[in-house]
């Protein structure tokens, strides 16, 4: 035994007694002492050929809108064609039937091929986490608007780190990791929601703190809430969506 281990063992025996010394000494010197075998993370099928992982809840796979309703709970009024979903202007936002808290979301979207409008009026939609906090969807390929209102911004709060937009008419992807806010029993915020977003594979929101409910006018504020639906915005533009899945965390 090396001299410094011997001295350490003598010191531990002197200060802690024989049993405690043996436990602590093995933790310091035995590599196996820090191996954890239980529990074992369960096996799942990961993303293969852009198909959802086996433990995801599929919200839209191109076939039907069974997982969605309008905001009043009626059948989803948006249009399915060629396995994607398109906003039908003036029918209103849609939301999932199921409510979510912490989650991972995969969603693909496409701004209209026919470019019309400027700024916030071009290819505008949005993804509202828990129905309240908007991750902006906008044709920001060649369309200047306020930076905290462009695609991949937390609307009117935090601009994306870079503009990773593809051309209108091309499919784009958001990978979202969302942590819901925590409120105590008195309804006081104890931890704000945070969001990480990859836009077309590029990090654009890095564990961003959400500052409150999305507001068009005025400062964001928090109001205590439970789990909430995922909501997609009808902003009057023909934005399309496909391959939407979510994993509860």
Footprint of Mg ion on 156-215 (CB under 5 A): none
Please, which residue, 124 or 143, has the CB nearer to Mg ion? 124
How many residues in the shown chain lie near Mg ion by CB under 5 A? Answer: 3
**Least distance from C-beta 111 to Mg ion, angstroms?**
12
- Least Å distance between CB 214 and Mg ion? 9
- Largest pairwise CA distance in the chain: 80
Question: Toward Mg ion, which CB reaches closer, 56 or 110?
Answer: 110
- Kindly report whether the peptide bond that precedes residue 98 is cis, defined as omega within 30 degrees of 0: no
> 76 or 135: whose CB is closer to Mg ion?
135
Q: How far is the CB of 75 from Mg ion (least distance, A)?
A: 23
Q: Does 126 contact Mg ion by CB under 5 A?
A: yes
Toward Mg ion, which CB reaches closer, 21 or 231?
231
Query: Nearest CA to 84 among 248, 242, 243, 229?
Result: 242
Closest approach of Mg ion to the CB of residue 138, in Å: 6
The residues in 204-233 that bind Mg ion, with binding defined as CB under 5 A, are 233
Which residues are CB-contacts of 55 (< 8 A; sequence separation ≥ 6)?
44, 247
* Closest among 136, 139, 130 to 148, alpha carbons compared: 136
* Residue 184 C-beta: closest distance to Mg ion, Å: 31
CA distance linking residue 20 with residue 194, whole number of Å: 42
Nearer to Mg ion, 126 or 193 (CB): 126
- The span of 58-66, 118-126, 157-165, 215-223 binding Mg ion (CB under 5 A) equals 118-126
The string of DSSP letters for 95-144 reads: EESS-BSSEEEEEEEE--SS----GGGSS-EEEEETTTEEEEE---SS--
CB 156 to Mg ion: min, Å: 10
- Dump the DSSP string for 188-212: -EEE--EEEEEETTEEEEEEEEP-S
Count other Cβ atoms within 10 Å, centred on residue 230: 25
21 or 125: whose CB is closer to Mg ion? Answer: 125
CA dihedral 34, 35, 39, 41 (to 10 degrees): 120
In the complex, which residue's CB is closest to Mg ion? Answer: 126
Question: Which positions lie near Mg ion, rule CB under 5 A?
Answer: 124, 126, 233
């Amino acid at each position: 035994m090396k001299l410094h281990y011997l001295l350490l063992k003598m010191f531990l025996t002197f200060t802690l007694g024989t049993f405690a010394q043996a436990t602590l000494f093995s933790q310091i010197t035995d590599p196996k002492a820090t191996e954890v075998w239980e529990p074992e993370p369960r096996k799942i099928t990961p993303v293969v050929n852009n198909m959802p992982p086996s433990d995801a809840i599929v919200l839209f796979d191109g076939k039907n809108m069974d997982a969605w309703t309008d905001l009043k709970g009626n059948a989803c009024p948006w249009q399915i064609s060629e396995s994607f979903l398109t906003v039908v202007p003036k029918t209103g936002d849609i939301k999932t039937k199921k409510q979510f808290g912490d989650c991972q979301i995969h969603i693909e979207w496409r701004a209209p091929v026919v470019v019309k409008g400027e700024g916030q009026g071009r290819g505008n939609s949005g993804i509202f986490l828990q129905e309240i906090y908007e991750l902006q969807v906008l044709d920001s390929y060649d369309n200047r608007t306020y930076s905290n209102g462009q695609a991949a911004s937390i609307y009117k709060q935090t601009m994306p780190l870079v503009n990773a937009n593809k051309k209108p008419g091309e499919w784009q992807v958001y990978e979202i990791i969302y942590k819901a806010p925590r409120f105590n029993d008195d309804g006081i915020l104890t931890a704000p929601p945070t969001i990480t977003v990859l836009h077309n594979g590029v990090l654009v929101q890095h564990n961003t703190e959400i500052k409150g409910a999305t507001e068009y006018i005025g400062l964001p504020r928090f109001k205590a809430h439970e789990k909430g639906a995922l909501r997609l915005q009808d902003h009057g533009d023909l934005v399309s969506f496909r391959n939407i899945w979510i994993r509860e965390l």
